[in-house]
Amino acid sequence: MKSLIVILIVILSVCHVSLARTKNNENKKITYIVHVAKSTMPSSFRHHSIWYKSVLKSVSQSAEILYTYDEAINGFSTTLTVEEHRLLKSQPGILKVTPDKMYKLHTTRTPKFLGLDKISSLLPTLDKSSDVIVGVLDTGIWPESKSFDDTGYGPIPHNWKGKCETGTNFTTSNCNKKLIGARFYRKGFEASIAPNDERIRFLSPRDDDGHGTHTASTTIGSPVENASLFGLANGTARGMAIGARVAMYKVCWIELCSGSDILAGIDQAIADNVNILSLSLGEIPYKYFKDNLAIGAFAAMEHGILVSCSAGNFGPRSWSVTNIAPWITTVGAGTLDRDFPTYVSLGNGKNYSGVSFYNGNSLPETLVPFIYAGNASSDEGKGDGTCAPGSLDPKKVAGKIVLCDPGKIGRVEKGNIVKSVGGLGMVFANNEKGGEILTPDAHIFPATAVGFTNGEAIKKYLFSDPKPTGTIVFEGTKLEVEPSPVVADFSSRGPNLITPQILKPDLIAPGFNILAAYPNNLSPTGLTSDPRRVDFQIMSGTSMACPHVSGLAALLKSVHPDWSPAAIRSALMTTAYTAYKNNQTLLDGATKKPATPFDFGAGHVDPVSALNPGLVYDLRVDDYLSFLCAVNYSSAQIEIVARRKYTCDPKKQYSVTNLNYPSFAVVFTGEHNEIKHSRTLTNVGTEGTYKVSVKSDVPSVKISVEPEVLSFKKNEKKTYIVKFSTSTSKQNITQSFGSLQWSDGKTVVRSPIAFRWKIE
């Protein structure tokens, strides 16, 4: 019944969004976010919230304000008809009225893999309670998880202004000295999609999806010994910054997150005094003055809060990276040196690799009958191989392994259907579109997934042998898998769709098969028919990579409390690595070829090195305002982002290439081209002299740096100019790559370079 209600709500949601976006219904109310020029408020109003209500009342007698925003933007959200929307846009002081958008949600091994054990030995105080607070915007939290145990923690930081809100199955007693805040926001979702049903959703900060608990524990989770998923990935689970505190802002419902709710969460997190914001969610890129998440992140940055966001799971497609504003730290996903391999052994003696989280009773050691689902149809000649409900004949399936094709239902459900008609096991084979991308599942009975190539080979055997046989062998947890890391095939890639001169993603972190805390009222498969319950779950996505960087940023903030968000990001980027120990470039998991800065940005995060980066590329609010001038935003558009009036100096030459970013994205637009970039380095280490070195993949790109040597006193800043030039000798290519690094003989400060030739 519960699953049926969820399906109906999702169907209603899709229908509602379709009507709101496409149907010309004058009386239909749509949710909008209203940006206001606060400086134009008449003096007769005591507070901007009263003014907002007055403006809204002038165009609608029935419309009500959903949220009034005080920090994230200047403005409010509301629901309006088409005519009311038209009238509101023309009111004095209204800068922009944008439709609310829906954003989508995008461990035991990672601490050792990242070298956090070395940090613990160097700085043991970091494992104790700190005053750094990470705000997580997600699906909520499961406070009973041991990952949020506050044993040994000191008092809640004195500057904390937040609170724990009560609601369904959640009271103030669910918070402690580790989980110091929990709030929930649902007005935007319910106005745009459908009311939440308390029978299937917790109308409180409690997590009813699992995503939020997983990301929060990855960021700051307390150590939990003997954590695993059915014995897989066994070890001590812990977050990246185990001494930090966490505040949950539940803004996502049924895997959808309303922009107005997200803004409300950011607005409150700023007021609550968080230090880091972690958002594992996103939407397709928009210009910054149209992207409400980017606008909210700008406000957070202004308050000294680092905003870490997932890059998206639209890889390996180029131009797919999301959350690309330069004041956001954008995180892609890499793999770990851990795997959960299986192989399908056939009667012809051949074996084909696959993946699975199944760890129960294995199949018989002897080979058993094996059949393709299309040949096991309950209706003679009508089987399509997808193992759909009612499609399999028990007489043909009983006692056999069944190979299933992709279809409308999920992999685990296919396995359950095979099991229900007497099958012994299931092999899921990707189609050509799915390719070789494999996602393990916590199957209820012996089952695995194989890629397209292996699936085709298995089918060939099943079709050619009159009595095909086989078995599935489960090898459990395998460590020290090489090569690792590789860029996860699903991780979104650059270039940056909005501003190609800013390289995104910024870096990658572990995001594949990550074990972390999970609500113990949910099944590991998400199916209501699955009776199993777990305390930890293995999940993959840039959603899992983002909280790794959020936690590492919290670590750096604990050690360097005076560092700005840009300085922390710079430290993480310039110390990231791009090669294995054998000096070969990190691989792209999709192509099995060397990855590029469009795949991994500056490289894979290295927190041990990031603690002492030597030099950083710092950025302040004025630098970002100059950047907005450089991209030719009008005063009104800048005011939407910056929440105040700002006029670009007509006498000044603004350039995107002068934004003090820790990476370089060079876009050539003609046969003969020369582009200059200006950068300023700040010494955050000891006095020293740094020399520059540059590399380029193609001889047709010349790179010169002036000066080539920089000598620093402590905290001193030094500026340098890089000149990139290309000529008619350029080969027939559209992109190439290089690097620029400063070194004092011990510390290396490295920046990636991505070159693109824009075809006119």
Rg of the chain on CA atoms, in Å: 27
Q: How far apart are CA 705 and CA 692, in angstroms?
A: 8
Q: How far apart are CA 175 and CA 246, in angstroms?
A: 10
DSSP-assigned beta bridge partners for residue 696: 738
Structure tokens at 138: 């997600």
Q: How far apart are CA 277 and CA 299, in angstroms?
A: 12
Q: How far apart are CA 233 and CA 487, in angstroms?
A: 21
CB 136 within 8 A of CB 246: yes
Of 593, 737, 714, the closest CA to residue 664 belongs to 737
Cα dihedral sign, 440-444-447-451? negative
Q: Cα 556 from chain centroid? A: 20
Q: Which positions are catalytic?
A: 138, 211, 543
Structure tokens at 453: 């190539």
Q: How far apart are CA 542 and CA 360, in angstroms?
A: 29
CB 192 within 8 A of CB 259: no
DSSP-assigned beta bridge partners for residue 736: 755
Of 559, 553, 568, 612, the closest CA to residue 126 belongs to 559
Q: How far apart are CA 194 and CA 20, in angstroms?
A: 12
CB 278 within 8 A of CB 328: no
Collapse the DSSP code of 758 into the 3-class scheme (helix H, G, I; strand E, B; otherwise coil) and give the result: coil
Q: Phi first, then psi: give them for residue 396, nearest 5 degrees.
A: -85, -20
* Tokens 């041990």 found at: 608
Alpha-carbon distances of 604 from 318, 507, 551, 653, 752, rounded to whole Å: 19, 6, 15, 35, 12
Q: How far apart are CA 69 and CA 77, in angstroms?
A: 8
**What beta strand segments (E) does 283-389 contain?**
306-310, 329-334, 338-339, 341-346, 351-355, 368-372
Q: Which residues, 6 or more positions from 227, have their beta carbon under 8 angstroms from its beta carbon?
A: 108, 233, 234, 235, 236, 237, 515, 535, 536
DSSP string, 99-166: E--EEEE---SHHHHTTHHHHHHH-GGGGS--S-EEEEEES-B-TTSGGG--TT--PPPTT----B--
Collapse the DSSP code of 524 into the 3-class scheme (helix H, G, I; strand E, B; otherwise coil) and give the result: coil
